[in-house]
Every structure is written in structure tokens, then in C-alpha cells.
Amino acid sequence: MNDILELANQKLNITHDILIFIYTGPKVGSTSLVSSFRIFGENNYGIIHIHDEIMLEKLVGINSLTINDIIQYNAQLGRKIYVIDIYRNPIERKISAFFEKIGSYHFNNFDEIINRFNVNKVIKRFNNIFPYLANGDHYIDKYNINDDLPEIFPFKQKYLIVEKNGIKYIKLRLKDVDEWERILSNIFSRTICIVKDYQSENKIIGDLFKKFLEKYKIPQNYLNEILECKYLNYYYSLEEKEEYLNKWNLKKCENEIYYTTDQYKVYQDITLENCHIDKVLLHHYIDDGCRCRACIIKRNRVKHNILTKKYNGERIFHIEAKNELIGKHMIQVKNINNIIKKSNKIDSKLKLFLK
């Protein structure tokens, strides 16, 4: 078993003594955390961003391991381990999850075309599958730390840390994103600024996404179900929950009927059968994590710009950073050659003068 785990470590490029597993469900704000740690971690941390065992199998090519297996193995090797999860408002998370695969999965078409769809058609499809989208909570469902959870979430502190078997399990809430810099800088004893990354409104389907948010009204029966969500009731205080639900009470409509479990199963089967678009996410992060000299130079510049409030959305991709560095070197060489040429001309004139 250890041989398989060591192979998984190699596939995940685990070499650091301090590992941060950003092990969350999709569409909760985890991409921003990854880029933030890469830019401000000074290469001191190994960052593993993962959602589930399906993703793990794709990354390491092994189907007999769980993410917890790898976390526990590295802890046993003496590495310092942090595992981070994020809770996001349930309705917003469902909307974001739906739009993440709206073209390649839900409508079997390209995002450029989907972006021109009638928003009412999109709302109807979303409501049909509402209860099946973006469910669960990794901190409670996946981490195996339920016996160690406090009865009440520390609302004033705005984050939760449970330490078990030498591993620190951290829970953040997306609603507190403006506090993440303070929270994480305190936990990791270094400045960690948060860069917002991979937001739906900035994607190809951004126009449709904005129209959806403006027009969407949640059916009353859907909202009633959200009221009973055990995760919402744990991570939100009574006042926070009331504030959240009041916001959606202003945007509710009459009851609707969503797909039954059997109908949704048919929907999944047909959707997967029809799906022909392989959505490859290139440049998923602001910082792709490369540690070559060109990327380190660019990363330091981006970090400086963020700290000095001059950041303009510049991203750190290996090919671009490499080409920029080569370009700068070529300009420097050209400048040096021009200086040499000018110097040679001066020497020639001086020699003629001395004759």
C-alpha cells in the first residue's frame, strides 16, 4: 500500500514539508485560495487542489486510493498538513455549479452559443434539477472529524480549526471572504492576500449569468427545503440565516415541481450520452504554480502589485512568463549591442583624430 501511496505522491508532485490540501466541493471559492497561496506562499507550501476521488484518479491514474489516504500518509511521513474546506450559501452554490457545466453538459452546446439563449429557458432547466445540484459538505461528510466538531460553529471567530492526528482541518465561509486575509495570515503567520479568481461573470457565459441573477426567483417550496439544510443551520447563526433567507424571500415565486429521482436519473443518462464537448479548463488559476525562474520573477511582480494596490488582473502562466523573460533578455542584448556599436564608432573616430 505504501508503494502505491508514494507513487501517488510523485504524481501529485509532493515534495514540500508543509502541505495544504484545498479539499472542497466545486464552486465554493477554492480556486481563489489556490492562487492566493501560490502567490504569497513563497514556494514554502505544496498546494493540492482537489474535489473528489474521481478527480484524484484522473490526476494520479490510481483508483484504489482516497484523498484521506494520501492526507494521512503524508502526516505519517512527518509532514505538516493543513486541509481547508469552504462553506458557500446553498442557492448561490447551486447556480454557480449549474453554470459551470451549462454548455458542455446541461445543454450540450458551446458556451458562446449558450450565452445567447433565452434566460427563461435556462431558468426552467435549472429549476427542474435544483435539488440535485451542489449538495454536501466536505468538512462534515468527508473529513472523518465529526466526533471532534464543536456543537456550535464559532461565528464570531468566523472560521473553525479541528486538529486530529496532527492534521489541522480548517473551515472557512465564503461569506467571510473579506476576512480571509486576516484569518489565513494569522493561521500561517505570514501575509496571505486573497486574489479573486475564476468568477462566473468573467467567463464566456457571463452575460447570460448576469441576466439569470437579475431575473431568477426561487420557488417557495425550494426555499422551504433550504430552510431545513443541516449545513446552513450549522454554519450560519440564527441572525445570519434570517438575513440570508430574507434576501431570497424578496425573490421568490410560486411552488414548482422538480424532477423526481427517476426522472433525474434519465436526465443524467441522456445528457451524458449526448455530451460531445470536452470542456478542457485551460488557465484555470491566476497562478498555475510553475516554479521556474521566469514564473518566480513574474510571481514576485504580481505579488508586489497586489500589495501596492496596483494589480490589474495579470496572470502567471508558464509559457507567457517564459516568453516575457526571453523578450526582456533580447531587449537587453539588443541594448548592449547598440552600446557596443556606439562605443566602436567612438573608438574609430578617436583613432582617426589621434592620427
- Interval 130-187: pLDDT, tens: 999 999 999 999 999 999 999 999 999 999 999 999 999 999 999 999 999 999 999 9
Closest by CA position to 172, among listed 310, 277, 22, 319: 22
Give the pLDDT band of residue 343 (cuts 50, 70, 90): low
* Strand pairing report for 167-173 and 160-164: antiparallel
Grid coordinates of 291: 516554479
Instruction: Give residue 282's pLDDT.
Output: 47
Q: How far apart are CA 42 and CA 25, in angstroms?
A: 26
The residue ranges of every structural domain in the chain are 2-274, 293-354
Q: What is the mean pLDDT of residues 216-229?
A: 96
Instruction: Give residue 286's pLDDT.
Output: 83
User: Hunting for cell 489556490 — which residue is that?
Assistant: 34
- Interval 35-48: pLDDT, tens: 999 999 878 999 99
Instruction: Give residue 328's pLDDT.
Output: 66
Measured torsion, CA atoms of residues 105, 107, 112, 118, in degrees rounded to the nearest 10 = -140
More confident residue, 302 or 327: 302
Instruction: Give residue 42's pLDDT.
Output: 77
Q: How far apart are CA 17 and CA 81, in angstroms?
A: 9
- Interval 183-203: pLDDT, tens: 999 999 999 999 886 565 667
Amino acid residing at 292: C
Residue 347 has pLDDT above 60, yes or no: no
Instruction: Give residue 201's pLDDT.
Output: 63
Q: How far apart are CA 200 and CA 97, in angstroms?
A: 10
**Taking a C-beta distance cutoff of 8 angstroms, is the pair 50, 23 a contact?**
yes
| H and E: helices and strands count for the chain | 16, 7
**DSSP structural state of residue 316:** B
Give the pLDDT band of residue 339 (cuts 50, 70, 90): low
The proportion of the chain whose per-residue pLDDT surpasses 90, expressed as a percent, equals: 69
User: Residue 187, exposed/middle/buried by CB under 10 A (0-12, 13-18, 19+)?
Assistant: middle
DSSP string, 216-227: --EEHHHHHHHH
User: Hunting for cell 465554493 — which residue is that?
Assistant: 28
Residue 335 has pLDDT above 80, yes or no: no
Residue 254 has pLDDT above 90, yes or no: yes
pTM over 0.95: no
Grid coordinates of 255: 411552488
End-to-end CA distance of the chain: 84
- Interval 48-59: pLDDT, tens: 999 999 999 988
Other CB atoms within 10 Å distance of the CB of residue 257: 9
Q: What is the mean pLDDT of residues 315-336?
A: 74
Residue 112 has pLDDT above 80, yes or no: yes
SS3 call for 298: helix
